[in-house]
Structure 1
């Protein structure tokens, strides 16, 4: 499976870049799935819903199905978070999986960077960062630098990197 990541510090533009890349790449006729990593307990279900009640009762997995989508929620129940490689096996085959977060995983990634965050670039310290997408013009990097809004060029770079 072809995977490519978007990483960066909080408020660096990761989610906006992911959204724009999905639109751009699917618009070119490729199928794309995404994985989003969160450092906190992510709640995709809400109190009062039947599926929430099933999970609260102790179900390990709850599958919700409708005529337009289905979703599977898996409760870890004190188990360790599965590694990214294991989670990727849960996805149906697509042309490209875009991964948001997981900055320490070895898959190739582009770093989203906004000068306003005041945070240093990851690119100098993380060999899996293959390019930087920034609203500034960072210098002295050994990887390509794109403007954060130049989504077409960033998509070209990613697709070339993964062989699509």
Structure 2
């Protein structure tokens, strides 16, 4: 089966108040990001209400054959003219959708004798605009349009459909419909690695960072020094400049740079300073309201203090596998169980529970 792709970008975006296909995530528009993820498919079409009204879209566009008839018209119009046997259909407002999931759905559909494959998320929500439609759907879609019935679900009721549960990939189908949802999407995710001194915070972060990078995240770190740190080694040029009283000092080479400023760090500046990092790991911050992993590897008095007073904990970390059980309905992991800890972090990351900055 030859499968192409259709991105639906003809909506009015009334709730957003702005064309959603042009919204940006990490500097890339939603539409460009989806096109990149789907780049291996032989045919990619973009459905719009009127191609002449969208000079900003540099891709192959399909005009709606039925005006003001919503996504059903876009789907019908694309299936009527596409060269592919079927189309993977996505709205333009799912910027987290990955090429990996797209190819997985394609493989599932290859072994299905249905007219359509429709994604269902872990909350049992059906996503009729996230799935694969064969050309065999065209007559039913046309009949619905001719009758003025624009509900995709009504069309699906007259087709043979495979409702496919995407389970752990449900986060990839998150629709961004409102300014509030967009603000949450673009906020930086922060997670504090918290505990008392010598509890193993740095070692845990050192082991987690490569695992999280391997899982596809760009990771940044922030450490608060309770004492006044020296910005460079004594005797170096930049150290001498700092001692002389400069307000800011920059050291750089062809691959990296470091900047030190003589002023307090404002929380609002952290997101800007870490650039396109997906996740900021904060070392310490045990009494803050940041989401956190709490290391219960100190004395009983220290551990009890953390259990009683530290807030917003997504998981407790202990020194022994035998202690992996729930504490106050919160999961517990041994500090050596790095993969399980990373799984926990990614679950909260994808669910948006770590959003802060």
Q: Could you report, residue by residue, the CA deviation over 1:33-83 in whole angstroms, capped at 9, with x for unpaired residues?
A: 11111211122401211111111111111010112321001123xxxx334
| Pairing 1:46–2:233 present | yes
| Pairing 1:106–2:292 present | no
Q: Could you report, residue by residue, the CA deviation over 1:128-159 in whole angstroms, capped at 9, with x for unpaired residues?
A: 22211111428772111111111111111011
Structure 1 runs, 4 residues or longer, greater than 6 Å off: none
In 1: Cα distance, 2:318 partner to 2:198 partner: 12
Higher-Rg structure is 2
TM-score scaled to structure 2, two decimals? Answer: 0.42
In 1: Cα distance, 2:285 partner to 2:205 partner: 14
Q: Residue in 2 aligned with 1:8?
A: 195
TM-score scaled to structure 1, two decimals? Answer: 0.87
Report matched runs for 1:1-164 at 5 Å: 1-76=188-263, 81-115=264-298, 119-121=302-304, 122-136=306-320, 137=323, 141-142=327-328, 143-163=330-350
The structure that is helix-richer by fraction is 2
2:287·2:311 contact (CA, 8 Å) conserved in 1? no
Higher RCO (CA-CA < 8 Å; seq separation 6+): 1
In 2: Cα distance, 1:42 partner to 1:120 partner: 28
Unaligned runs of 5+ in 1: none
Residues 12 and 3 of structure 1, relative CA distance in 2, 3 Å threshold: same
1:123·1:132 contact (CA, 8 Å) conserved in 2? no
> How many residues are matched?
160
1:118 Cα shift? Answer: 5.8
1:123·1:131 contact (CA, 8 Å) conserved in 2? no
1:11·1:117 contact (CA, 8 Å) conserved in 2? no
Q: Could you report, residue by residue, the CA deviation over 1:76-111 in whole angstroms, capped at 9, with x for unpaired residues?
A: 3xxxx3343443432212111111111222110001
Unaligned runs of 5+ in 2: 1-187, 352-357
